[in-house]
């Protein structure tokens, strides 16, 4: 059984929803890891606990945004296609994108 090719102009999030979810999960996991490392590695004892939590959460949000930004870069997409295709966006599977590969 073959998977039908999505129509031209279909956003990759609709054409390959499981890939979009997987990419978001990975980006969030990286942010959670950074938050966990920052909470254990930053010496912010002079600040209140609420301030420390805010700083760590802001750092995690910045990392999440950075990872999401990285996932939009063409060189990252090319690398993912080659070495980790399950994390690629799936753009290359559409008929209109075959000429761009």
Reduced to 3 states (helix: H, G, I; strand: E, B; else coil), residue 71 is: coil
Whether the model pTM is above 0.85: no
Structure tokens at 65: 């945004």
Question: For the segment 41-72, what is each residue's pLDDT rounded down to a tens digit?
Answer: 766 667 777 777 787 788 888 888 888 888 88
**Percentage of the chain exceeding pLDDT 90:** 1
Q: Taking a C-beta distance cutoff of 8 angstroms, is the pair 90, 23 a contact? A: no
């Amino acid at each position: 059984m073959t998977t039908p090719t999505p129509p031209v102009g279909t956003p990759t999030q609709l054409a390959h929803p499981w890939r979009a979810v997987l990419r978001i999960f990975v980006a969030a996991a990286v942010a959670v890891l950074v938050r966990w490392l920052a909470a254990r590695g930053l010496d912010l004892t002079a600040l209140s606990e609420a301030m420390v939590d805010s700083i760590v959460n802001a750092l995690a949000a910045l990392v999440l945004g950075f990872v999401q930004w990285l996932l939009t870069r063409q060189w990252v997409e090319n690398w993912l296609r080659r070495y980790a295709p399950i994390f690629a966006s799936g753009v290359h599977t559409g008929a209109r994108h075959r000429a761009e590969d």
